[in-house]
Amino acid sequence: MDSTSEAKDGLPIPQRYWAILTIALGLVMAVLDGAIANVALPTIARDVNASPAGSIWVVNAYQLAVTISLLPFAALGDIIGYRRVYQAGLVVFTLASLLCARSDSLVTLALARMVQGFGASGVMSVNTALIRFIYPRRLLGTAMGINALIVAVSSAIGPTVASGILSVAPWQFLFYVNVPIGLAALLLGLRTLPRTARSPHRFDGLSAGLNALTLGLLIVAIDGLGQGENTVLVTLELVISGAAGWLLVRRQLSRSSPLLPVDLLRIPIFALSIATSICSFAAQTLAYVSLPFYLQDALGRSQVATGLLMTPWPLTTAIVAPIAGWLADRYPAGALGGAGLLAMAAGLVLLATLPAHPETIDIIWRMAVCGFGFGLFQTPNNRAMIGASPRSRSGAAGGMLSTARLLGQTSGAALVAVIFGLAPTHGTTLTLLVGAGFSVGAAGVSMLRLRQSMPSAAE
């Protein structure tokens, strides 16, 4: 297997399969670690003598590091090569996992988790760009379907994996298991990941700082709004974030390869796909966060039963995603995405109108409808985003893809907290209906892409 030559239109078989396995291993670690920490949080808090509120930083530190560094690392990938950024991310993530396992206090664990988040960001910021060079152009939809399948399966099994490990070993092993996987991915990547052309421009450190300030404070403010924090403080965070964002956009407008890809946002299909992605992930998160409260508090289901009842959504998404990828190579993303989002909206309305004492099957098939719709939407949408961007800007496009997902998820989680605060009795019903509204709106935006054509320079 030789990866020394620049990939032109995909890698030859079997190198292609080994390369996608490398991508899969890195993605599985990054996605799983975002999910398993939530399950283990009570156990970790007791072991390091941390309060429940303080222990949240084990999750927040990771998410914040990922959010503020996705676009800078994606831009760095355009400059020095996606392969290098991905491998560096694997190294940092693996070493940080070891530090997490060896932590003996909340402060050291939170700091290690932040470093781990930067490693995960290195992996997630360029994985989509690498996939574009691993697979031939004619199979881009299929490749994106495989990527979506990996993420969906990892999300679905995250709580189960965490529970299984915690049943036989202390929480430290949640992080120890990353070490052999990370080493295997690193060794495979050295031999199989493609080398790609590099952009001649220099890294813009000031823009990276403004980006971190903009997104970091925006995420903190949105989270604070959901948690009911001091209104003056939240407003100040939003004002500073807005000012930094304004300066960032002004700085990017004069650059040929901006860190915040305003050049890509001028491409109608790309901009519409980003807007669709943010709305759809907000809708999904509204359901994901609120439904466990309904299942446990209103229906009296156990934690294990709740986890099982939530599984049909990501499981169906995992099944549909590769099929949607195949369809995306043949049919317009606007139509497929619109149909998928309308199906997800229907599933959310069906969940919101469940009878007072539903049977288990009533919940399962409604969750499956949501998963089907999300799976049908996600892969074509991602393909449209990546396919609409020039190959030299694949890193920036992939970074925006991940950033849109995180912004949608953060906004959705904050909205759940706000709605539950305003209407605690009917909170879940309202969040599901709001999620359905987001999904219908996203479907409308998706359909607008039918009036656009792919730019000729995209490939």
* 430 and 301 together in one domain: yes
Q: Is the peptide bond before 14 cis (omega within 30 degrees of 0)?
A: yes
The number of distinct structural domains making up the chain is: 3
pLDDT in tens, 232-280: 888 898 999 999 999 998 888 888 778 888 888 888 888 888 999 899 9
* 139 and 218 together in one domain: no
Residue 195 gets which letter from DSSP? B
Sign of CA dihedral 433, 438, 442, 444: positive
199: which 2 tokens? 């952009």
Q: How far is CA 122 from CA 26, 338, 413, in A?
A: 10, 31, 24
Q: Does residue 454 surpass a pLDDT of 60?
A: no
Who has greater pLDDT, 291 or 459?
A: 291
Q: Nearest 5°: phi and psi at 135?
A: -100, 150
pLDDT band at 4 (very low <50, low <70, confident <90, very high): very low
* 349 and 433 together in one domain: yes
pLDDT in tens, 365-395: 999 999 999 989 888 888 888 888 887 787 8
* 70 and 180 together in one domain: yes
Please give the pLDDT value at position 221.
83
Domain boundary among 159, 178, 201: 201
365: which 2 tokens? 């098939």
* 132 and 175 together in one domain: yes
* 240 and 195 together in one domain: no
Q: Is the peptide bond before 322 cis (omega within 30 degrees of 0)?
A: no
Sign of CA dihedral 140, 145, 150, 154: positive
Structural domain including 245 reads: 205-254
* 21 and 105 together in one domain: yes
* 294 and 147 together in one domain: no
**pTM score of the predicted model:** 0.78
* 313 and 453 together in one domain: yes
The whole-angstrom separation of Cα 37 and Cα 41 is 6
Looking up residue 117, the CATH number of its domain turns out to be 1.20.1250.20
pLDDT in tens, 158-180: 767 777 787 788 888 888 989 99
Please give the pLDDT value at position 227.
66
* 272 and 419 together in one domain: yes
* 328 and 274 together in one domain: yes
C-beta separation of 413 from 226 below 8 A = yes
The whole-angstrom separation of Cα 43 and Cα 164 is 14
Please give the pLDDT value at position 459.
43
* 163 and 113 together in one domain: yes
The whole-angstrom separation of Cα 112 and Cα 225 is 27
Please give the pLDDT value at position 6.
45
The SS3 of residue 6 is: strand
Please give the pLDDT value at position 39.
64
Mean pLDDT across the chain: 84
